[in-house]
């Protein structure tokens, strides 16, 4: 279950350990667009961060950059949303309410990931071992600056 196919290195917009300040939703969405351009077909991307940190906002930019023009919403209650884009389907998973990742696999998560152009997983700590090459981007609020988020690549 490799997140990246064999081949040349892809120009990911954040290096491991790098932090970037994002001023407002437009910059969060711009980072999402840069991620969409840098991730190869079939890639998995993990997004972490507290509630309201901007994970779905970043995903809006990513999915929009691939040509999806309808609203992109958090799949917190649905667990998964599949967005048809001209570049191929984008799977958006929110595992926040999942008690055990086996619940996701029972919903055929692996097949959905394999058939998607890109898979974005929020709160997916339980899946890290299954996708060891998948990058993890953490988003965080910056205290005292309500519009500022900090994106950090952990892996």
Q: Over the stretch 97-112, which tens digit does the pLDDT of each residue have?
A: 888 888 888 889 999 9
**When comparing pLDDT for 84 and 105, which is higher?**
84
Q: Is the pLDDT of residue 136 over 60?
A: yes
Backbone phi, psi, residue 90, to 5° = -115, 125
Whether 47 contacts 75, CB under 8 Å: no
Architecture of domain 19-127+142-153: 3-Layer(aba) Sandwich (3.40)
Section 123-149 average pLDDT: 94
pTM for this one? 0.89
The pLDDT value given to residue 11? 63
Q: Is the pLDDT of residue 25 over 90?
A: yes
Whether 69 contacts 78, CB under 8 Å: no
Give the dihedral sign, CA 139/54/3/65. negative
Which stretches within 39-144 are classed as H helix?
A: 55-65, 102-106, 109-114
Residue 115 vs residues 14, 84, 88: alpha-carbon distances, Å: 26, 12, 9
Whether 45 contacts 35, CB under 8 Å: yes
């Amino acid at each position: 279950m490799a997140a990246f196919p064999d081949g040349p290195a892809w120009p990911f917009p954040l290096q491991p350990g790098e932090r970037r300040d994002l001023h407002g939703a437009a910059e969060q969405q711009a980072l999402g667009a840069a991620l969409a351009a840098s991730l190869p077909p079939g890639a998995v991307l993990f997004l972490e961060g507290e509630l309201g940190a901007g994970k779905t906002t970043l995903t809006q930019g990513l999915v929009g950059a691939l040509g999806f023009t309808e609203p992109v919403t958090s799949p917190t209650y649905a667990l998964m949303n599949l967005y048809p884009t001209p570049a191929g389907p984008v799977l958006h998973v929110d595992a926040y309410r999942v008690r055990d990742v086996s619940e996701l696999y029972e919903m055929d998560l692996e097949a959905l990931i394999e058939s998607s152009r890109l898979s974005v997983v929020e709160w997916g700590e339980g899946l890290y071992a299954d996708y060891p090459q998948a990058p993890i981007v953490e988003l965080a609020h910056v205290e005292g600056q309500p519009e500022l988020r900090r994106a950090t690549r952990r892996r």
